[in-house]
Structure formats: structure tokens, C-alpha cells
Copies of this chain bind each other. A is one copy, B any other.
């Protein structure tokens, strides 16, 4: 930890919260929560019904402890049903949990990568957008991106969620150069060269991909002169080798972020997403066991499913929404920047969880642990399943690509070291199947983690 990193320690977005103790923050969240629960109860048939089913009234919820006793109100499937019903009854797709008039919606975006019909989760009034803009502005400022700067914004635009981030970028006085990824890497590089952006937002996969594509065209991405890159939506820079590769190639810091909820700090090492928005979301003070949905006590390192309860939002606040994302919560002070609030790492999806001899195992955690052995491995793996998850009859079989410059006679030594780490960190002793580099198919978007033999 050097002096510069100390200077750039992350703070909460709302400066008042920086003066609060952890207990005061919880108290503040409880006050906002009471207000929000009354609001959603008054303004939506859906939430009124959820409270009725739980045999509770908003007035009954006086603390987070009371709150944790409420059942889960919503998840992706329930959200879809709610949307179907509002479509049929009111001719709008936002769901029965819409709390504002549909006339007051200023922006709608759907979640991106999902299968099935889209959910209009990111639906905001003007007031919502103005509120959310603060968090994006805070992150940009932390990353050294100032009013008057230009930012290469390269996602799949249109109805997708990322587009709402554009409002925050603009409200910060930064000009987005929004090139749809579907235009292809050649076009993205052309716009980067022409507009000389000071920063970029894209997935880590795209940031990596552009390094190679640029090289093929005789371009060095380091010449763009970028100040910072903000990545989203993949584990990506949680893997040290990936963080290092992107930072070295572009000659800048790369930050990981989770919408408006938080971002990683300016440290060489990755210490997770710093949760800067306790006034926007109860998260991460609400994680549950993914199977029983019972609350999990939060200690440093606790793992559970992330439950979203949005405060201060008008249009479509999510309340006790089970995200299906497994996160690990850290409560100690950030070793990188000294941030005193909570941090989280996304460790996978509940749907992907495997159970081996009673132990919960997350494929993405395995992938991350194995990636630490780059360049002895390429980082590409597949978990071979003979029967549908989550239960696996041991041993867990894992295909791993060895690195291009590895002498095969060294494989058994590398194998022992990987097995040891997996045993210690993930409590699993796999059978390793070595594959030649480049033989496991690679996708630019989401590479599958499973090879299904059933």
C-alpha cells in the first residue's frame, strides 16, 4: 500500500454517511426502509399482496431484524409473472409492482444476458435518474474522469441496462462516445482513435479482445492515452492476471463496478466492490442461504445470496428481491485504500452451485483459483457433469488447458499445486483432465463453465 493509494481511498457517495458509525448507517437504512415499505404498500397492488400473504404491515417493520423475517417477495420468475399481469390488465410491461404512474417513466431498460422474455427491471422516473446519477458521478470522479472528458462507452445499447449509466455519465459533464459492440471491434477501435477518449466502459472480455484486435491492425491500445477503464458484468478483473493484462496494455487503472451500488478501488490488488450506496440499497446488509432463504449473519467473509431492497427509488423499487447472485461480503477495512464500509465479491450464480459431499462449490470460484496459475494454465476450464446439478458424485472432474509454453513433463507438479489450492480454498479435491492450449472453445461473451454429459 503506497501513499498515493492512501490518498485515493474510497468514500461513501453520500458524504454524510462517511461521518456515521456502522450502527448509525444501519439506523439510517432502517429509517429509509420504513418510508420505502410504506410507499410501495400504498402504491402497488403487488407489494400490498406480498405483505398480506406474509401477515404483516409495513408499520410492523421497525428494524433490519424485523425485515429479515419477511419472506422473499420477488425473483426473476415472479417479476416476469408480475409483468405479464400488468401487460394484460393495464397494457404496460413494467409489472404490477410499478409504484409510479407509467406516464412518469423517463427511462426503461431490460437486463441483458438472460434467456427468456426480458424483464424491465431498470425502469426509472426522472427523480430516480437524478438520484442514481450521483453514484455514477462519484465513481467517475474517483477514477479521475472529469467534466469535459470523453468516455468510450461500448456496450450493447438499445433497451439494455447499461444505457441508464449514460445518464450518469452525461450528468457528470462527460461526453459518452457510445459505440454499440454489435458494430464490431474494428469500428470500436476506429472511434477510439478518432475521439481520443479519456476513459472507457466495457466488459473485461471486450477490453482484452481489443488489445489483440488492435495489435492485428498495428495499433497499440496504450496509445489511446486512457486514464481509467470501468468494467462490469463479469468476474474479469477479480482475476489478478486479467487485471494486470488490461492495466499494462492500456497503461491505466481498471475498475470493476456493480451498477450504482459500488466499485473497486485504486489499488494494485483487487479487494472487491466497495459498497458506497447504503442509502440506495439495503445490500449488502441482507444475504440469505440460497436454499432455505434464511438470513445469514454477516461476518468478514460470509457467503450468501444477495437480496436487493432498493431505497429512495420511485418507479420500480425492488423489495426483498432474490437476485440469484452469490456474493462474499467483507467487513474489514479495505487493505488497499482503507475504505471502512463493506465490500463484496461476486462468486457465482445460485443456479451454478454444485454440492459435493454436502459442501457448496461455485464453479466461478474454481475458475478464479485456477486462473492464478496463469501462465502455467491458459485460464480456460470446463467442469464435466454426468448428471444435472447441483449434486455431484465425487470426484469433480475439471478440464484445464495448460499454458502454451508448458513442458508436459511438469504437468503432474502443477496438478498437485492446483489440487492443494482447491482443497484449501474451495474444499474440493477434483480429478484434473489436462487439455492442450486452445482446445476448449472460447466465447467473447459468456464462456460456458459446464460440459454437460447428461
Which residues of A pack against B, CB within 8 Å? 83, 87, 91-93, 101-103, 105-108, 117-118, 147-148, 150, 156-159, 163, 170, 173, 175, 177-180, 182-183, 190-191, 194-196
Contacts and interface: CB of A to CB of B under 8 A. Distances in A.
Contacts of A190: 117-118
B195 A92 contact: yes
**Oligomeric state, in copies:** 2
Given A180-B182, A194-B93, A103 B158 contact: no
B148 A118 contact: no
A196 B158 contact: no
A87 B194 contact: yes
Nearest to A101: B148
Given A103-B148, A173-B103, A175-B105, A159 B87 contact: no
Contact of A106 (B117, B118, B175): B175
A331 to B, nearest CB: 41
User: Nearest 7 A-B pairs (CB), nearest first?
Assistant: A103-B148, A158-B180, A182-B182, A93-B194, A157-B157, A158-B179, A93-B195
A175 B87 contact: no
Contacts of A118: 190-191, 194
A182 to B, nearest CB: 4
A196 B89 CA distance: 12
Contact of A158 (B108, B150, B183, B194): B183
Contacts of A102: 148
24 contacts: A87-B196, A91-B196, A92-B196, A93-B195, A93-B196, A102-B148, A103-B147, A103-B173, A105-B175, A106-B170, A106-B175, A108-B175, A108-B195, A117-B190, A117-B194, A118-B190, A118-B194, A157-B157, A157-B178, A159-B177, A159-B179, A159-B191, A180-B180, A182-B183
A137 to B, nearest CB: 15
Nearest to A180: B158
Contacts of A106: 170, 175
A103 B175 CA distance: 8
Contact of A156 (B159, B175, B180): B180
B177 A108 contact: yes
A12 to B, nearest CB: 28
A105 B182 CA distance: 25
A148 B159 CA distance: 18
